[in-house]
Structure 1
Amino acid sequence: MDLNEYQQLALRTASPKDKPNEVFQLLLGLVGETGEIAEKAKKIVRDRGSDFTQWDTEDLTKELGDTLWYLAVLADYFDIPLEEVGRRNIAKLADRRQRAVLGGSGDNR
C-alpha cells in the first residue's frame, strides 16, 4: 500500500472537514497519540533501564498507526497528499545529508 492509498482509506473513518473545530481536534489527536508513545518510552526508561528491546512492538505498532491516521487526515484537511509529505521530507533530509547538517537544530539548516 502506498501513502496516498493509506490516506484515502483512512479518510473513510474521518469526520467531515466542515465539522466545527475539526482541524483542532485532529491536531489534539496527533499530539495525544505521539504523547502516548512518549509516555510508554518514559516507562521503559524509568522501569526497564532504558532497554528498548523490551518495548512491546505490537503495542508500538498500534500507537504508530493511530499517529499515522491523524497525520494522514490532517494532511488531507489541507489538501496535501500524504505521499507529498513523505517525498518532501525525504528530499529535505537528503539535502541536509549532502550539506552535512543532519545534526544540530533549526528548521532551516
Structure 2
Amino acid sequence: MTPGTSCPNARTYDEPVDLTAYQQAALRTAAPRDKQNEFLHLVLGLVGESGEIAEKVKKVIRDQDSDFTKIDIEDLKKELGDVLWYVAVLADYFDIPLNEVGEKNIEKLAGRQQRAVLGGSGDNR
C-alpha cells in the first residue's frame, strides 16, 4: 500500500517515527514491571488517557457545535502522547515490541481494505 493513496486526506511525513526508540524511551520513565499491580495500573492509565481524549471531543461537540477546527491541537497532542506511552509500556509488559504492534495493525487494516471490509464490526472480518 502506498502511503497517502488509500485515504484522500492521509498525510505523509518526512521522517518516520521509530517506534522501537520511542518504546525504549518510554520505558525509562515507567515503573518496574514487577511492581505490585503494575499491569492494572497500565490498563487503567490507558483507559483514563483515552477517556481524556473522549472528554475533549465531547466538549467540542457540546460547546463548539462540533466544529473540530476549534479543538486545541497542542492539548490533543499531549493526550495522544499519553495514550502512546501507555500502549508502549503495556506492550513491553508482555515483551511485545511496539513496532510489531504497529506493523500487525497496518497489515490487519490493509487486509480489511483489500477485502472491502473496513466498515462493519467484529475483530476477525
Q: TM-score range by the shorter chain?
A: over 0.9
What is the TM-score with the length of structure 2 in the denominator? 0.86
1:19 Cα deviation (Å)?
A: 0.2
SS of the residue 2:76 aligns to: helix
In the alignment, the residues of structure 2 paired with residue 64 and residue 88 of structure 1 have an alpha-carbon distance, to the nearest angstrom, of: 20
Per the alignment, residue 73 of structure 1 pairs with 89
Unaligned runs of 5+ in 1: none
Residues 1:36 and 2:52 are matched in the alignment: yes
1:83 Cα deviation (Å)?
A: 0.1
State the one-letter code of the partner of 2:49: E
State percent identity of aligned pairs: 73
In the alignment, the residues of structure 2 paired with residue 64 and residue 85 of structure 1 have an alpha-carbon distance, to the nearest angstrom, of: 17
Q: How many residues align?
A: 109
Q: Which consecutive segments of 4 or more residues in structure 1 shift more than 4 A?
A: none
Higher helix share: 1
> What is the root-mean-square deviation in Å for CA atoms of aligned residues?
0.5
Per the alignment, residue 58 of structure 1 pairs with 74
Correspondent of 2:38 among 15, 18, 22? 22
Unaligned runs of 5+ in 2: 1-16
Per the alignment, residue 108 of structure 1 pairs with 124
Residues 1:12 and 2:28 are matched in the alignment: yes
Does 1 or 2 have the higher relative contact order (CA < 8 Å, sep 6+)? 1
1:22 Cα deviation (Å)?
A: 0.3
